[in-house]
Amino acid sequence: MATEAELLGRILERLDRMETKVDAMYGTWQHFAERAPVVGDAAGASAQYAWELAIKNGIDPISTLEKLVPLALEAGKPRTIDALARVVTRIDRLEMALDKVDLLEQKLAAAGVDQNALADKAVDLLARAAALSRSPEVDAFIQDGAFDPRAVDVMGKATRALVEVRREGAASVGPFGAMSAMMDGDVQRAVGFSLAVARRLGQLLAR
């Protein structure tokens, strides 16, 4: 068991260590206190420069700060941080999309397209499409099979036929030429299809 003298020695030893730490802390704070005016002056000068630069560029610092405060509060919310995290994890896709936009701008510039006018037309088109999408007729058009693969296939073939005939040209045909063409199996197939569509269209119009 330690004697009173030993216990007193231990206590004095710990007090010495504490005094050393306090001295070190005091030295640190004293160093900071000595440099604080310099740091404060530098920060003040930087703030003054930023303020004057903002005014010079037509920016109202007070109004801007009033707008930035709500943004900063919103940025600190968990949902905002989660959204930013999702963006960061998909940064490669974002870079790819931006590369495509740059490529599109280059091609439009090379073609002499006014990009501002094109953007205005695109916005107007989207607004019209949004308004049109709310109509029941468009909804019925979509629901009734307009995008059915078979319908798309027929429209694709019809478009190809129009393009090829337009490219190759077509001779004028009189009544007898039309009757003679009806002996062609391809013509019979197309006419039969057209008559079937006409019959079905008549049925639908009668509803």
Q: Please give the full DSSP string across 86-125, using - where no structure is assigned.
A: HHHHTHHHHHHHHHHHHHHHHHHHHTT--HHHHHHHHHHH
What b/e string do you get for 19-54 counting C-beta neighbours within 10 Å, with b at 16 or more? eeeeeeeeeeeeeeeeeeeeeeeeeeeeeeeeeeee
Residues in CB range of 97: below 8 A, 6 or more apart: none
Q: Vertex 77, ends 71 and 83: CA angle to 5°? A: 90
Residue 19 pLDDT: 60
CA 162 – CA 159 distance, rounded (Å): 5
Let me know how long the chain is.
207
Whole-model pTM over 0.75: no
Residue 195: the pLDDT is 92
Could you tell me which residues come within 8 angstroms of residue 50 by beta carbon, excluding any fewer than 6 positions away? Answer: none
The list of the chain residues with pLDDT below 50 reads: none
Q: What pLDDT score does 81 carry?
A: 85
Q: What is the pLDDT of residue 20?
A: 66
Residue 165 in tokens:
């005939």
Q: So what's the pLDDT on residue 192?
A: 92
